Amino acid sequence: MAPRAAARLELLGFRQVHEYKPGKLDWMASGRPTEGENSTRPRAGTVARKDVPVCAPADRLADVRDRARGAGWDAAVVVDGERVVLGLLRAAELAKEGELSIEEAMRPGPSTFRPYVPIKEMADYLTGHKLESSPVTTLDGKLVGLLLKADAVREAEGCPDCVRKMI
């Protein structure tokens, strides 16, 4: 669509035409602000908790568990050096044998969601799929935060459905 619009504008005499090829999807998935009717509604990226503990695959489970619980968490996200999400530790994984490495203990390849998804849609999804939490990531897989079902359900109360489904 944008290439055709750009070509049309050039035919109309515009000489400095650029196409932002990755488009609005890329902009919103990066967590950048928008304007419009949906812009002030809560979304996955705004409600996700940014202070979730993170760890590396080579870390020792007992160390991560102590650190997470010490910070009041029963979950941690496994990331690489670029903060790309590799796995998730929920309560069941954190309760495993402490000498395991995170790579051995983690739930690999968790479902992730983009920051722009409306919170009502996220609440319905997490409830319907019986998920207590889910990582929110940018398009290139980098961690934005962990969205807790309880937070999503609370924020979604009284929040109207988005016109467009985004999951």
Our CB check for another protein shows the closer of 14 and 92 to be: 14
How far apart CA 112 and CA 60 sit, in angstroms, is 24
Q: What's the closest the beta carbon of residue 47 comes to another protein, in angstroms?
A: 17
CA angle 43, 79, 82 (to 5 degrees): 90
Q: Of 15, 17, 16, 34, whose CA–CA distance to 25 is shortest?
A: 34
What is the footprint of another protein within residues 11-50 (CB under 8 A)?
A: 12-28, 30, 32-39
Between CA 126 and CA 152 the distance in angstroms is 8
CB nearer to another protein: pick between 34 and 111: 34
Does residue 165 bind another protein (CB under 8 A)?
no
| H-run or E-run covering 5 | helix 2-11
> Between residues 18 and 130, which has the closer beta carbon with respect to another protein?
18
**Contacting residues toward another protein, per CB under 8 A:** 1-10, 12-28, 30, 32-39, 116, 162-164
